[in-house]
Amino acid sequence: MWLKPEEVLLKSALKLWVLERANRYFVLQRRRGYGEDGGGLAGLLMGTLDAVLDSTSKVAPFRILHQTPDSQVYWSIACGASREEITEHWDWLEHNVMKTLSVFDSNEDVTSFVQGKIRGLIAEEGKGSFIQEEDPEKFREAILKFEKCFGLAEQEKLVTYYSCSYWRGRVPCQGWLYLSTNFLSFYSFLLGAEIKLVISWDEISKLEKTSNVILTESIHVCSRGEDHYFSMFLHINETFLLMEQLANYAVRRLFDKETFESDLVLHDPLQITKRGLENRAHSEQFSAFFRLPKEETLQEVHECFLWVPFSHFNTLGKMCISENYVCFASQDGSLCSIIIPLREVIAVEKADPANKGVSISIKGKRAFRFTEVKDFEHLVAKLRIRSGTTSCPHHTASTEVATTSDSDNLVDYYEGQLMAGQKGSSKTVSTEALMTVFHPQDADNLDSKMLKEKMKEQSWNILFVECGRGVSMFRTKKTRDLVLRGIPETLRGELWLLFSGAVNDMATNPGYYTELVEKSLGTCTLATDEIERDLRRSLPEHPAFQSDTGISALRRVLTAYAYRNPKIGYCQAMNILTSVLLLYAKEEEAFWLLVAVCERMLPDYFNRRIIGALVDQAVFEELIRDHLSQLTDHMTDMTFFSSISLSWFLTLFISVLPIESAVSVVDCFFYDGIKAILQLGLAVLDYNMDKLLTCKDDAEAVTVLSRFFDSVTNKDSPLPQAVQQASNLNDTKSYHPKVDITDLIRESNEKYGDIRYEDVESMRCRNRLYVIQTLEVTTKQNVLRVVSQDVKFSPSDLEELYELFKKEHFLSCYWSANSPVLRHHDPSLPYLDQYRIDCQQFRVLYHLLSPWAHCANRDSLALWTFRLLDENADCLINFKEFACALDVMYNGSFTDKLKLLFKLHIPPAFTEVESLSPSKGDDLSKEELIHFSQLNGKEKIDIQAYLKQWQDELLKKEENIKDLPRMNQFQFIQFSKTLYNLFHGDPEEELLYWAIATVTSLLLKMEEVGRRLQSPTSPAKSPASAAESSTDSQNMLKRDSAPEQTERRSVHSTRRDCHEWSFAFEQILASLLNEPALVRFFEKPLDIKAKVENAKTSQLKARTRV
């Protein structure tokens, strides 16, 4: 590798380096301790220094220096991990540079030319590389050492590396931690003791920061039941976040392919860099905090002050800028934040240059003033370009006044703007919120509940006057307090839309919902069938969903969403949630609220595996252990909390609480996100703590909680009594004291309000790995249970084989952005078909595990075996098919093994194989292997044939050997060659060769006699001629197992010229049974354990070579 030229004082380096070659201008040196004298004390010392020290000389054992005569200063220009690599650089210098240097007059010119040439070479190499780090030279050296130490594929992208200690028991080993796209790797070399650790990200089930008496702060990694601890990081938080991101990135790529493929950044592993991952983490945190579309990326952050007009003070915080939004969040505890969509901006001005001020004016005569903004002039220019505005001093002055006056007109203005926007974006679907249709408020009849409702509305109107109304309103602690008290019925839809961020989706996609409705109505899919089935089950007690108006609106929203997002389609619980949304929001608004919930606020909740809900349940369990330890001590099984809380998370408590109470929970959810649901869940358990502690079993605990939910009321709800009674039919039978939902929510915030959003997200990341690995264990157990019934492998051996099979599936995905195997992975499929491999992956496993892998024609055997197993001709096989084939090879009887070999040499498995590269012999390239595996030895079966095949399998009987087709002349020759290859290297090799020759001769004579008896009219051959024929055939069989093309052509011509002869399986079996050596060979016991252990260490290297 070429290096940026750096000065080296040769005197100080003579003890560390040995001269290998030299000429007038260059010196090639070898690191002392490597190569010929690598076994002494110098080798141990140098190896330790190279592993521990962070110096330019630590990386490679070879280097090239540039020198000029009579100078003590040398320049390092290249290094190499091997003698071949450094020799290649040396030869290039001698052939391309040495002749040129003779034309220069001075040594300074020579050095200047060499330095420029080397820098040019580095720049040329850098054009095709993806190295984007702060110190390219240092990072290039780290890549070289990473490749040298671990021998991974060239495509494996190193993201970053850290110096740290790895703990082996109580002993720390200092070394280097390398984080790449697919692996966590560690290397240490201390005084002869080498430690090399490679863990793939997809195997990690636990990743967390821990601390104890010995380790003050460390990173704990659990993989396949083994614990690994790393400590002594310079920046442990940065390291942990990157590890967390890479682990989750790998999990998404391998287990959630649809989401991953839509992510252009992560789709190509070569584009992943440390800086890119850090920026991505900041962008995700930014968009989640401000509830912005996922596409928004954080571009700039400025620390500044924001003028808060209703409080008359400047609040310190951070201005965050993305492509389409300017956002601000305070840092002084005032909980003040704003969101300014650039589509609303009408002017951006410099305000008070002395204080570096920026004023942003928006529609509605409002302005926001930021001060102490770094580089404020440049920022103003950029914001003007993005928002498409120009300076307008007069307008700015008037907006400053409007910020503090004209407040009486603000409410009317924003109400008009909101209504106009909704009408314009929903022309076809114009239904009102169902609550206004079925429960219109009577302004003349104001009872105590309606008076309280009006007081709530008045409180919100006062807040709108102070803080503004709409997407750019100030959000403060007062806003949160009003949400906790319950949003008024008339404002609920508007504020849900605002706090969820759905208002931005709807504003930037006008007419989108109407188009979806038109496209989706009339479609017939599995999702629409499920929707039709559940329509009448969605809040059936509410009058709105006892009429066609509500049912039709619900159908349109759910069908449109299933059409928009086929990955989710429709999932139970979506109907309940959407029903409540339709009560308070217009149809289009309800659709965008559903989008916000399913795709941003509750990610991965509504799919077949409900991973998101399971992750949040794991977070909930963790919070229970932290905050309600008394309860966890009493409960022996924590899964109880998961079983009862699943419906809480999936339906936001709507399925367990009366409707008038549940909507207050939804209010808090749209403002605080999942944090509100977690807090309320803790409050529910805390409220019932005493009763739960006395419960003797889970059923009793479930009864306690059910009765509690039935007793929850909302004494201030203005909903008609008929609706409230319908949702709480058991009130008359319940003796549980009434609990007001507002009090319960307030208590949950007082006790558990200190739970931070950042902590919840961190717990989500940590538990996501655990949940997915738990699901994978379940998949493995189900597969092994099914397969174990058909094979004789021990449970431990079968489990090891499954891990190797699954690993091969993943390895094929590591270095390919468009892996065909990855495209076929679908967690919604039956357990057996979730992981399948193609012919290329099967060949790798065949070479590693098959007892017949030593054959010269092993590639052909692997191909034929794959074609035999691939019964449905989709070029993929599952683990059951793979395990059954190996089981025959290892545990089958003499007849079973012979039958397998026989079937490999007849259609549909058998196909003529001939490598396009004669120099490779019988080895096949990847392209050739895939080509031969796809040849139509059998045609693809249609659905009817597939159903018939499935029916036949149900009635499957033991295969009768008499049903096997006969083997023709060419196939028999290949079969015999395979047997010759199988015997190679066996202790009884010579005896086996004689045995197979005897059997072949006997079979040929039998066939000749049989053919003569069947054709009496044909001239009979003499015994001598028959013997001659059999001798010729034997000579043909004894040829090399990899014949040249001329020999193949002679076989073809023989087959065309002679009368075809063939053999039945019974004939071959009977003949072979007469040879004790052959019987001993096939019946000798074989143990797969050694092969499995070797495969575990060699599988990664085998894939690297491929």
> Distance (Å, rounded) from C-alpha 923 to C-alpha 863?
11
Give Dmax over CA atoms of the chain in angstroms: 122
Q: Between the CA of residue 300 and those of 187, 282, 757, what are the distances in Å?
A: 37, 11, 22
Residue numbers in the chain where pLDDT is lower than 70? 9-15, 34-59, 123-135, 191, 213-216, 256-270, 332-334, 390-431, 441-446, 720-736, 816-828, 914-959, 1010-1011, 1013-1060, 1102-1106
How many Å separate Cα 102 from the centre of its chain? 57
Q: How far is CA 169 from the centre of its chain?
A: 32
CB 616 within 8 A of CB 764: yes
Dihedral, 692, 693, 694, 695 alpha carbons, nearest 10: 50
**Quick one: residue 1015, left, alpha or beta (phi over 0 = left, psi -120 to 50 = alpha)?**
beta
Beta-carbon contacts of residue 7 (< 8 Å; ≥ 6 apart): 73, 74, 75
Neighbouring-strand partners of residue 208: 220
- β-bridge mates for residue 230, sequence order: 166, 219
| pLDDT tens-digit readout, 451-481 | 888 999 999 999 999 999 999 999 999 999 9
Phi and psi, residue 935, nearest 5° = -65, 140
903 close to 868: Cβ distance less than 8 angstroms: yes
pLDDT score, position 457:
93
CB 279 within 8 A of CB 297: yes
The values of phi and psi at residue 19, to 5°, are -75, 130
Cis status of the peptide bond prior to 908, with omega within 30 of 0: yes
What angle (nearest 5°) sits at the alpha carbon of residue 832, between those of residues 831 and 836? Answer: 115
> Residue 55's CB: how many other CB atoms inside 10 A?
10
- Distance between first and last Cα of the chain: 24
Query: Rounded distance, CA 974 to CA 964, Å?
Result: 18
Of 159, 177, 165, 151, nearest in space to 250 by CA: 159
Helix or strand or coil: residue 1015? coil
Strand partners, 536: none
Q: Distance of CA 780 to CAs 583, 750, 826, Å?
A: 44, 44, 15
Q: Is the dihedral of CA 887, 890, 891, 892 positive or negative?
A: positive
Q: How far apart are CA 557 and CA 590, in angstroms?
A: 7
CA distance 365 to 186: 60
Cα–Cα distance, 142 to 162 (Å, whole number)? 10
Angle at CA of residue 237, ends 235 and 238, nearest 5°:
70
3-state DSSP assignment of residue 487 = coil
For the CA atoms of the chain, what is the radius of gyration? 37
Q: Which residue has the tokens 């683990």?
A: 879
Question: Which pair of structure tokens corresponds to residue 886?
Answer: 């190996």
Per DSSP, the residues of 1036-1061 read HHTS-SS--HHHHHHHHHHHHHSPP-
The predicted structure's pLDDT at residue 932: 61
Instruction: Report the alpha-carbon distance of residue 313 to residue 202 in Å, rounded.
Output: 51
Tell me how many helices (H) and strands (E) the chain has: 48, 25
Q: Where are the alpha helices (DSSP H) in 19-69?
A: 41-52
Classify 58 as helix, strand or coil: coil
Q: Are 977 and 921 in contact (CB under 8 A)?
A: no
Write b or e for each residue in 930-963: b if 16 or more Cβ atoms lie within 10 A of its Cβ, otherwise e: bebbeeebeeeeeeeeeeeeeeeeeeeeeeeeee
Instruction: Determine which helix (DSSP H) or strand (DSSP E) holds 304, and give its type and residue range.
Output: strand 300-308
How many CA atoms does the CB half-sphere of 1084 hold within 13 Å?
A: 10
Q: Do 466 and 497 touch, CB atoms closer than 8 A? A: no
Q: Is 392 helix (H, G, I), strand (E, B) or coil?
A: coil
Q: Per residue in 140-155, is it b (16+ CB within 10 Å) or e — as a string? A: bbbbbbbbbbbebbee
Give dist(CA 856, CA 713) in Å, integer.
79
pLDDT at residue 277 in the model = 86
Q: Is 739 helix (H, G, I), strand (E, B) or coil?
A: strand
Which two structure tokens, joined as six digits, stand for 996?
Answer: 């197979």
Half-sphere exposure of 405 (CA within 13 A, CB side): 5
Answer for the pair 565, 520: CB distance below 8 angstroms, yes or no.
Answer: no
Closest to 1089 measured CA to CA, from 882, 883, 794, 847: 794
SS3 label, residue 359: strand
Q: How many Cβ atoms are within 10 Å of 24's Cβ, its own excluded?
A: 11
Token pair, residue 573, equals 């619980």
Q: Which residues of 473-504 are buried (b: 16+ CB within 10 A; e: fewer)?
A: bbbbebbbebbbbbbbbbbbbbbbbbbbbbbb
DSSP 961: G
Listed as own residue / partner, the contacts of 131-139 with beta carbons closer than 8 Å and 24 or more positions apart are 132/273, 132/275, 132/276, 133/160, 133/273, 133/274, 133/275, 137/3, 137/4
In tens, the pLDDT along 395-453 reads: 443 333 333 334 344 344 444 444 444 444 434 565 688 888 877 766 566 678 888 88
Tokens of 1093: 């252990």
Neighbours of 472 (CB within 10 A): 21
The CA distances from residue 120 to 6, 126, 464, 707, 1089, in Å, are 15, 10, 63, 77, 53
Report the relative pairing of strands 325-330 and 193-200 from DSSP bridges: unpaired
The closest alpha carbon to 770, from 672, 878, 631, 638, belongs to 638
Count of alpha carbons within 13 Å of 167, Cβ hemisphere only?
18
Instruction: Give the distance from CA 369 to its chain's centroid.
Output: 43
CA distance 849 to 852: 9
CB 2 within 8 A of CB 78: yes
Which residue type occupies 470?
A: G
